[in-house]
């Protein structure tokens, strides 16, 4: 089972969060992108842009943050953090 936890944070406070589960046989990368799509749909957000720093941070820690610089539209929070909490 693959699980990804996403959190909206503003002023060091959790605004809302969601956990996405994926039991498919896809690759880890596909699972992450599918989960992020579900998060964006649930939170009514545009998909964030993955920069090289995000990719490296995610590879190292299985966690990354998306700030206003990663979104085309204005966001009402400081950052969106996604973290893999369980892998197959």
Task: Tell me the DSSP string of 3-31.
Answer: EEEEEEEETTEEEEEEEEEE-SS--HHHH
Number of other residues whose CB lies within 10 A of the CB of residue 1:
8
Mean pLDDT computed over 48-75: 96
**DSSP SS3 for 44:** coil
Q: Is 90 exceeded by the pLDDT of residue 88?
A: no
Whole-structure pTM value = 0.91
Note the pLDDT tens digit of each residue in 17-61: 999 999 999 999 999 999 999 999 999 999 999 999 999 999 999
**DSSP SS3 for 63:** strand
The ranges assigned to domains in the chain are: 2-86
User: What's the pLDDT at 84?
Assistant: 96
């Amino acid at each position: 089972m693959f699980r990804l936890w996403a959190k909206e944070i503003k002023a060091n406070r959790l605004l809302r969060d969601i956990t996405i589960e994926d039991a498919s046989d896809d690759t880890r990368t596909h699972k992450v992108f599918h989960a992020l799509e579900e998060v964006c749909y649930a939170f009514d957000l545009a998909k964030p842009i993955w920069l090289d720093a995000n990719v490296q941070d995610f590879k190292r820690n299985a966690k990354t943050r998306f700030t206003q610089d990663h979104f085309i539209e204005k966001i009402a929070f400081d950052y969106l953090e996604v973290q893999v909490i369980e892998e197959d």
